[in-house]
Amino acid sequence: MQEKALEDAFSQKVNLDIQHVEPKYQNYIVVIGESMRRDYMSLYGYPTKTTPYLDTANGLFLNGYISTAPNTITSLSRTLSLSKGLTYEPSINFVNLANSAGFKSYWLSNQGKMGEFDTPVRKFAILSDEEHFLKNGAYDGPINYQDSELLPSFKHALADRTKQHKLIVVHLMGSHPEFCHRIKHDVYGLEDKELSCYLSSYREFDQLMKKMVGLLNMTKQSYSLIYFSDHGLSNSHQKDQLVYMSHGSEHKSNYEVPFFMLSSDSHQHQLINKPVSAYHFLSLFSDWTGITSKKVTPLSIDQINDKNIKVFNFTNMVNFSDLAPDPAVKISR
């Protein structure tokens, strides 16, 4: 039923009754990460330096962002469209919001274009004015592209001489299993190969962020970039055994993800400790872009006051606080 509603909603662009448009920046970038847990980032205190650039980068870093759900489709459909949990309203989504406000929208992706697990997210791409996929088939197709291969099209979108404000969405493969296939180099060389490759994917992501900020600064136009990961992973870790990381829904770590904002006028590294549910994403997006619509209430991080966050665990809405802990595995170097 929900899938049918999704199909219908995406059959055409929907105008979302825009009331007011007052963007602070020229260019808005939304980078959607993949399978990245917050607690493996040195940015949030992991003892091994996995995010050396972000550790000191200027921007606003939220420690407490909780994804809506534990895998790509369930999470992104509930994050990027209006949702209170079990269901969502597909037509009220961030791309339609930007389009309705007169922004030019771009969707750049290293995920799949066509496949059982790709089609629901692809629909956001189709709504965009321009879409560029590195892969033609499914997300796990035969050729593995590096996320950094999206940089030329990112540069191209930035160079587009439109007078419109821009929304550029960059959808990464990030830290999706299989990690050792994902990365260019294993920089840690641990005996625990799986963990070593997983952490290496964080390092490559960190470098990608540095390069994207470099390209943004070169435009001399004002910008703001939001990054979040779609969901985390479970460690499935037994004492004295190798770590096996996989999708799951029963641990806090399946939902504890990074969220940060890097802007042309950020002049300090600011860490905010506060629980914020990703169910607010559309409200945050509305506040961030200065786009107000009757359909969405704009909210800043300061205005959000989440007490009992619930997440969708594939079947039900459950209390995040009731989920089992699954702490990061520390490595000895």
| Cβ neighbours, 10 Å, residue 294 | 9
* Contact call for residue 129 and Zn ion (CB under 5 A): no
Contact flag: residue 111 with Zn ion (CB under 5 A): no
By CB under 5 A, the count of residues binding Zn ion is 3
Q: Using CA atoms, how far apart are residues 188 and 191, in angstroms rounded to an integer?
A: 9
Could you give the CA distance from residue 279 to residue 308 in angstroms, rounded to a whole number? 12
- Which residue, 35 or 100, has its beta carbon nearer to Zn ion? 35
Spatial CA neighbour of 191 closest among 148, 242, 225: 242
Q: Which residues pair with 29 in a beta bridge?
A: 168, 225
Closest alpha carbon to 98 in 25, 147, 206 = 25
Q: Which stretch binds Zn ion (CB under 5 A): 133-141, 149-157, 224-232, 309-317?
A: 224-232
Regarding 118 and contact with Zn ion (CB under 5 A), the answer is no
Q: What tokens were used for 87?
A: 């269901």
In order, the DSSP letters of 131-155 are: EEES-SS-TT-SS---GGGGHHHHH
Q: Which stretch binds Zn ion (CB under 5 A): 118-126, 181-189, 225-233, 235-243?
A: 225-233
For Zn ion, the binding residue among 230, 256, 287, 326 (CB under 5 A) is: 230
By C-beta, is 59 or 177 nearer to Zn ion? Answer: 177
> Between 175 and 200, whose beta carbon lies closer to Zn ion?
175
- The closest residue (CB) to Zn ion is 72
List of residues 6+ apart from 270 with CB closer than 8 A? 59, 60, 61
Per-residue x/- track, 156-195, Zn ion (CB under 5 A): ----------------------------------------
183 versus 216: smaller Cβ distance to Zn ion: 183
Is residue 229 within 8 A of residue 71, CB to CB? The reply is no
Instruction: State which amino acid sits at residue 68.
Output: T
Residue closer to Zn ion, measured from CB, 118 or 230: 230
- By CB under 5 A, residue 72 contacts Zn ion: yes
CA separation (Å) from 244 to 73, 175, 199?
22, 14, 13
Query: Which of these ranges, 131-139, 151-159, 178-186, 229-237, lies near Zn ion under the rule CB under 5 A?
Result: 229-237
Task: Respond yes or no on whether the N-terminal peptide bond of residue 178 is cis (omega within 30° of 0).
Answer: yes
Least distance in Å: CB of 111 to Zn ion?
A: 8
Per-residue x/- mask for Zn ion, residues 3 to 42, rule CB under 5 A?
-------------------------------x--------
Whichever of 42 and 72 has its CB closer to Zn ion, that residue is 72
- Contacts with Zn ion by CB under 5 A lie at 34, 72, 230
